[in-house]
Amino acid sequence: MLKRLPHESSSDKIYQLRGALMMVAVPLVLVTIVLYVLPSISSNESIEDYTLTHRKISPDNRASSSYAVVFDAGSSGSRVHVFHFDRNLNLVHIGKDLELFVQIKPGLSAYAQNPQQAAESLITLLDKAESVVPLEFRPKTPVRVGATAGLRALEGDASDRILEAVRELLKQRSTLKSGPNAVTVLDGTQEGAFQWVTINYLLGNLGKDYSKTIGVVDLGGGSVQMAYAISEADSAKAPKVPGGEDPYVKEMFLRGRKYYLYVHSYLHYGLLAARAEILKVSDDSGNSCVLAGFDGYYNYGGKSFNSSSSPSGSRLNECKTMALKALKVNESKCTHMKCTFGGIWNGGGGDGQKNLFVASFFFDRAAEAGFADPNLPIVKVRPVDFEVAAKRACQTKLEEAKSAYQRVEEGNLPYLCMDLVYQYTLLVAGFGLDPRQQITLVKKVQYRDALVEAAWPLGSAIEAVSSS
């Protein structure tokens, strides 16, 4: 016979129910305690950023820091930047500075006929860069060589041969980590985007709303870039570009926030390249942008251009007309809502462009012309200041300029009127700025207790370290 189970009492049922409730409640309580004890994650911080920032790492763990070496092979010279990061991608001191920065002249494009000599010109920079990277870090330290507009402007296979010679130099002479794409010609979109990342990183803007970021105009030797963050709605209105060209908008995810970055690079419109374009306007006759008393030639991109002053010397208004022709401001049709110059969409403007930092040759010429203190990292000016300085320079003869503008290198003196007129024209007629709008000339940016060069290589280094 089967044995009958005794009848369960009410107390037995209550006991069993209490046990089941405890099995569910204990894990819930533990989860609640963990969530309460952990600091909250801010709305601007992604889960990945939170775990990277808050996990506990032993201070003795050497892998918690990293280095990056970036060569900026520009048209006017070559520069090397060495950066040291902690595991949170904050910059760490190298000696008393937050980067090693060394530069030489001329740039790689000056060796168009001799690729081997071009590569060898980087040896002193490479040796100095490696000297500050600890021996055990070198095999895992990414090295990048980013050639910019100077090499882009070379004809034929000259650029490719120079890049191959540089790759061979790194392979034979360096122990740094050199990947298959370590030596490249940066396209203008990359250069502009890296510059925007660099300055906003140093200012602590990454992770904030796009309206809190700053826009950047970077005037190099061979090209000029404009980059600024726009709204998602404006990015959806971006015109389509012909096949093979860089799109107007680059999407970037930085510090837990997605940015729509308007960026465009204008090849042949950097300061040194623009000189050639302005000299072309006058053909072989005298040029009203060249200081009186100069008669010679201007060499750029492997070509030589007749460069002589007009009989009446340099004149502001005539030079403006030539600069406008070089920019093709009134010649190209705008098929979009609003354009800069050459029929290029301007990005729509907006909050991301209101606070504008202008870099590189803008700062250099302003300092040399005397309306910006060269000892300051940033200077507030207006586009009209370039016009005022240009008026004075254009009235100066070459011999007088040698004493009046002692900061200007001898080779640049004949073109001081031209450079300043072009910079004013580029900002106002080209990019559509109000002549009296305040802009910020930037050479370096204060980051913690040090000044850091406001150049695109830091943005490249951040990407290199993040992906290595």
Q: Which residues are catalytic?
A: 191
Which among 419, 406, 422, 418 has a CA at the least distance from the CA of 314?
Answer: 418
User: Helix 316-327 and helix 383-394: axis angle, to 10°?
Assistant: 130
Cα torsion 23, 25, 29, 31: sign: positive
Helix (H) or strand (E) holding 223: strand 223-230
How far apart are the two ends of the chain, measured CA to CA in Å? 75
Annotate 173-197 with three-state secondary structure.
Answer: HCCCECCCCCEEECCHHHHHHHHHH
- Within 13 Å, how many C-alpha atoms sit on residue 214's CB side? 24
Cβ neighbours of residue 348 closer than 8 Å, sequence gap 6 or more: 230, 234, 237, 262, 337, 338
Which residue, chain included where needed, has tokens 């970077």?
Answer: 218
- Is residue 65 within 8 A of residue 87, CB to CB? The reply is yes
Name beta bridge partners: 381: 439
DSSP assignment letter at 3: P
d(CA 172, CA 167): 9
CA–CA distances in Å: residue 295 to residues 244, 285, 301, 407 = 41, 11, 20, 22
Distance of alpha carbon 426 from alpha carbon 344, whole angstroms: 14
The DSSP 8-state label assigned to residue 138 in this structure reads G
